[in-house]
Structure 1
Amino acid sequence: MAVHWGGVAGMIFFYLIILAVGIWASRKTKGANNTERVMVAGRDFGWFIGLFTLIATWVGGGYINGTAEVVFTPGWGLVWAQAPWGYSFSFVVNGLFFAKQMRAANYVTMIDPFQKKFGNRMGGILFLAAITGELLWCAAILAALGSTISVILELDQNLSVIISACIAVSYTLFGGLFSVAYTDIVQLVCIFIGLWLCVPFALTNKAVTPILQNSGSWLGEWDTRLTGQWIDSCLLIILGGVPWQAYFQRVLAAKTPHHARYLSFYAAFGCFFLSIPAYVMGAVGASTDWTMTNLNLNKTDPYETPGIILPAVIQYLTPPVVAFLGLGAISAAVMSSTDSSVLASSSMFTRNVYKNIFRQSASEREMMWVLRVAVIFVATIATVMALTVDSIYTLFVLCSDFVYVVLFPQFVCVIHIKKSNTYGSACAFVLGLFLRLAGGIFALGMPALIHYPYYDEELGQLFPFRTMAAILSFVSLVVVSYATDVIFRKGYLPKRFDFLNCVVDIDAATDQQVNGNVQALDIVDKMA
């Protein structure tokens, strides 16, 4: 098939609009050498911008394409499409337990509390787990766009991914969170209109059996042997969706802790609502007789490459004009999450690694240039990963894997366990990482070193070993922290053996200041 030049022109027009909005918003950064203003937008996000940009954090190409992929895939179906409601619920967890505390402390990145409590170097190590998740997430998003454009426009997949990454990087470089947030508004409107417009046309296409009559093909199969895996995956998505810099970058930009908390609750509903079209189109794909469409099954068989099912439904089951709008929706989803992930990773590296570990005397101007270089570097790595991925949904879930096992237990402790310290953090990191890697990573071809209970040679680990690893990591952090605290405070070991210098009196003044910030901002909220 020839390249659909009309669609190419439409996509270029859409990209130019996004680029123009991003450049316009970049003027709000004022003072190009103020890294904090670039990273948290002057802490000026109210209800409107805050809600749109928070929803756009999760609603990306991996979120939409990956959901349709798993609903469509035989044997998986709706039963295993946990990501949309799981990630949406992670907003609720954040709103209940973390958002208000983080905003009240006026942190700039998610790694700040780790470095404050566990030291710069331990915080730098935990940064590795955070950036791994961000890179996998960004790669999943770009891979989704590549599959979409290759199906709908017959363009080279690699070229489309590279161009899209370059556009997202260009306005993120200069506008920071301001550009990302304002483009999120445009992108989210495009997602809403484009996807929902495709649904009725896809449902009523003559090649589609009514999905309610064909529910057996997309509901999925419940195998009792996989109950442990289902629970493990569910908790991984919900709790592994909590400690993300892309989320906290927006929370920390909220005007008050009150805004930060309730924006999270409202965003949960928005995220799930925008996943409904993806669920429906995955079911439509499973209910379609593809021989009745113009899809060349000899070249592109959705059952062999289920990651392309959403663009295939949009291209071959809706009118051309609607299909191009659907492409715009997916492109918007990709942009809205790509720029978020790239800026999040770059912000953590610039502040928490470069500034706090290697160059504590770095000027604001120097940090701005490091931030820009980091944006380009992170986007390049994610693009390379996207060009080599097989399954969008695999990356979509894997990105939360290490975040759940390694980072989430540490995040709970650093926010809510006052006596947690660097000894406990280091022990928990090593234990959690070992238990996770020992369980194997099927998607990467890494065999299991430990066969946990109910291990099956064909199905792999049936025991919820990730959850077990996360629990043991949390317990070890608490036990080791309290044990070392008692050992040094009671004098069982001289304090000179405290080589990490982390068992010290709690800085009451700092705690009092944080509590004072919470109370003062709550008063402002009530007056408003």
Structure 2
Amino acid sequence: MAVNWVGIAGIVVFYIIILVVGLWASRKSKGDSDPDSVLVASRDMSLFVGVWTTAATIVGGAYINGAAESVFESGLAWTQAPWAYAISMPLGGILFAKHMRAKGYLTMLDPFQDKYGNRMGGLLFIPALFGEILWSAAILASLGTTMSVILDLNVKLSVIISAVIVAFYTFFGGLYSVAYTDVVQLFCIFVGLWFCVPFVMTNEHAAPITSTSSEWIGTIDPSDAGIWIDFTMLLLLGGITWQAYFQRVLAAKSPEKAQKMSFIAGFVVIIMAIPSVLIGAVGFNTDWNSTALDLNKTNPHDHPSLILPLVIQYLTPTYVAFVGLGALSAAVMSSADSSVLAASSMFAHNIWGGLFRSKVSKRELVWVIRISIVVTTILATIIALTVHSVYYLYVLCSDLVYVIIFPQLVCVLYIKVCNTYGSLVGFVIAILLRIGGGEGSLHIPIFIKFPFYSETKGQLFPFRTFIVVFSFAVIIVISYVTDIVLRRGYLGPRWDIFKCVTSVERVPDEVEHEGEEEKMHMERKRSGEWQLGDVNEMKKPLAGKDESEYIPGESKI
């Protein structure tokens, strides 16, 4: 197969545009001296940019390609991601965005380290980190496969070039560059894919989608209802417990704007999926034998993940394919940069600046973020080039983020009695139950057979959602029991090994309103009365603190 120069030209043009915008946006960064600029864009993100970059945490290569693939292979009934993610955004705004922005947090892990201590926050960093890195690897691998099949390019070269571009502008601009390139990337996706839709729907090789709607819409077998519910809940609740999402809402100018960003982003998410769904339906109705596609080399039914680029290449004119394939490359990069920055931010702020070093200079922290960006990109690239089942690894990490992070985050924010003991036990129980449920794609055997288990279909019970509910109960019960036992003196203070019950000051009862509690919380931080270091340990004021010194957990509101 000859090299597709039109497709290559389209991708090159889009890459140049994105790189230029990323470097331009990096000029808004305040340079080496301000980690807030890199982490949360100095809390100065406009509503317009915020909406688009928040939507971009969902709308990327896997989302665009995955929606078309799911419709083509399983039917619209099993394509829950578009509408589930669209609902998850406003849900995140209601549950988390306004609350966490009002607290002045910098990352998703901050509330855990504030309440449970740095070590427990570091433990929760593990599934969050794996999820972000493997997500980046999965979309880079997807891009490489697509380019190799559609454009006849070398897979390794495609992945490496894309990774270098992502790392380059993210390295210099932080969230500013990622946010502004997200706006351009989503605009390219929207225009590019909608530009292709009229051509693919009127192509002579494809039957009208209305003529076979009952087939490509699909059905849900009653015996599979538990699976459908489980994955729907995973998308609804697990889709918002990612640092990439929180990085955007925490960069909003106010808590109210953080919530608005989430609400409006939900509409953007569902709108961006419509052309992919239509293209997937057209691919289902296409007589591929009558097209120029060499089915002996690439059969859509054997490679359903390629249905979107195949439809664009073989069912549209050359100039349309130029725009469409360029839009696909933009879609991939809009997700990769978000995940790379998210993983780097958590490591620099919560692990390096919180767990390893209680005090770091602002310049040091910025350079730790930048080095982490490079390391994260390299790791994601290596995984993308060497691990064949990277998508399935990501699926498992998505499960872990859902069953571990979601219940933990709700508890730490809303249930005051929760402590480190409950969090730790809930963490361990959730992992054991999830591994016990098995994962066929990773050859993990099933040793816990939940109700309705089938020897042929596997787990039919919504066991992931059950684990979430059970984890909630474990965290609350263990926290309540340890609080009573330690606070009432049934066990002495020496048994409080995490120093999270007997040595922690309670918020005074008269502080009833969140705004007042937060004011007291932040005043203590600014005055230097305490800093994030050992587990919940109160410390003396910092002597000789200057403006270049960075205290982990401290941030401008």
Taking structure 2 as the reference length, the TM-score comes to 0.89
1:258 is matched with: 256
1:404 is matched with: 402
SS in 2 for 1:326: helix
2:553 is matched with: none
Give the whole-Å Cα distance in 1 for the aligned partners of 2:38 and 2:382: 26
| Residue from 153, 158, 161 that aligns with 2:159 | 161
- Superposed, 1:507-526 pairs within 5 Å as 507-508=507-508, 515-516=515-516
1:431 offset after TM fit, Å?
A: 0.3
SS in 1 for 2:57: helix
2:494 is matched with: 496
Give the whole-Å Cα distance in 2 for the aligned partners of 1:89 and 1:288: 32
Give the whole-Å Cα distance in 1 for the aligned partners of 2:393 and 2:329: 18
Contact 2:383 2:390 in 1 (8 A): no
SS in 2 for 1:435: helix
Deviations 1:190-213 (A, max 9, x none): 011001111111111111011111
2:38 is matched with: 38
Give the whole-Å Cα distance in 2 for the aligned partners of 1:193 and 1:351: 37
Deviations 1:318-361 (A, max 9, x none): 11111111111111111111111100000001111111111223
| Residue from 304, 327, 330 that aligns with 2:328 | 330
1:524 is matched with: none
Aligned residues: 518
1:210 is matched with: 208
Give the whole-Å Cα distance in 2 for the aligned partners of 1:455 and 1:314: 41
SS in 2 for 1:58: coil
Q: Greater shift after overlay, 379-388 or 464-473?
A: 379-388
Q: Say if 1:319 and 1:519 are closer, same or farther in 2 by CA, change over 3 A.
A: farther
Deviations 1:486-522 (A, max 9, x none): 11122211122111100133244997896148799xx
Give the whole-Å Cα distance in 2 for the aligned partners of 1:195 and 1:140: 22
1:238 offset after TM fit, Å?
A: 0.6
Contact 1:62 1:396 in 2 (8 A): no
Opposite residue 292 of structure 2, the aligned amino acid is N
Give the whole-Å Cα distance in 2 for the aligned partners of 1:307 and 1:341: 21
Question: What is the percentage of aligned positions where both structures have the same residue?
Answer: 55
Q: Does residue 1:112 correspond to 2:110, yes or no? A: yes
Q: Say if 1:387 and 1:308 are closer, same or farther in 2 by CA, change over 3 A.
A: farther
Contact 1:136 1:398 in 2 (8 A): no
Deviations 1:286-311 (A, max 9, x none): 11110111111000011111111111
Deviations 1:243-296 (A, max 9, x none): 111001010100000000111011001001000111111111111110111111
Contact 1:144 1:392 in 2 (8 A): no
Deviations 1:163-208 (A, max 9, x none): 1111011000010000011111111110110011111111111110
Opposite residue 492 of structure 2, the aligned amino acid is P
2:528 is matched with: none
1:316 is matched with: 314
2:23 is matched with: 23
1:86 offset after TM fit, Å?
A: 1.2
Deviations 1:415-438 (A, max 9, x none): 111111000000000000100010
Deviations 1:103-137 (A, max 9, x none): 00111111011111111000000011111221232
Give the whole-Å Cα distance in 2 for the aligned partners of 1:326 and 1:510: 59
Q: Say if 1:436 and 1:422 are closer, same or farther in 2 by CA, change over 3 A.
A: same
2:537 is matched with: none
Q: Say if 1:305 and 1:179 are closer, same or farther in 2 by CA, change over 3 A.
A: same
Opposite residue 245 of structure 2, the aligned amino acid is Y
SS in 2 for 1:218: helix
Q: Does residue 1:297 correspond to 2:299, yes or no? A: no
1:479 offset after TM fit, Å?
A: 0.5
Gaps of 5+ in 1: 521-528
2:51 is matched with: 51
Give the superposed CA RMSD: 2.0
1:397 offset after TM fit, Å?
A: 4.7
Q: Say if 1:396 and 1:290 are closer, same or farther in 2 by CA, change over 3 A.
A: farther
Deviations 1:59-85 (A, max 9, x none): 000001011111111xx2111111121
- Superposed, 1:191-230 pairs within 5 Å as 191-230=189-228
1:89 offset after TM fit, Å?
A: 1.2
Q: Greater shift after overlay, 318-327 or 419-428?
A: 318-327
Give the whole-Å Cα distance in 2 for the aligned partners of 1:455 and 1:57: 35
1:386 offset after TM fit, Å?
A: 2.9
Give the whole-Å Cα distance in 2 for the aligned partners of 1:342 and 1:511: 39
2:81 is matched with: 83
2:544 is matched with: none
SS in 1 for 2:406: helix
Give the whole-Å Cα distance in 1 for the aligned partners of 2:485 and 2:44: 45
Q: Say if 1:517 and 1:49 are closer, same or farther in 2 by CA, change over 3 A.
A: farther
Give the whole-Å Cα distance in 2 for the aligned partners of 1:20 and 1:116: 39
Opposite residue 383 of structure 2, the aligned amino acid is M
Contact 2:511 2:517 in 1 (8 A): no
Q: Greater shift after overlay, 362-371 or 161-170?
A: 362-371
Gaps of 5+ in 2: 521-557
1:158 offset after TM fit, Å?
A: 2.6
- Superposed, 1:65-84 pairs within 5 Å as 65-73=65-73, 76-84=74-82
2:230 is matched with: 232
SS in 2 for 1:253: coil
| Residue from 363, 377, 384 that aligns with 1:386 | 384
- Superposed, 1:183-198 pairs within 5 Å as 183-198=181-196
Give the whole-Å Cα distance in 2 for the aligned partners of 1:103 and 1:177: 16
2:350 is matched with: 352
Deviations 1:449-484 (A, max 9, x none): 111111112211111111111111111000111111
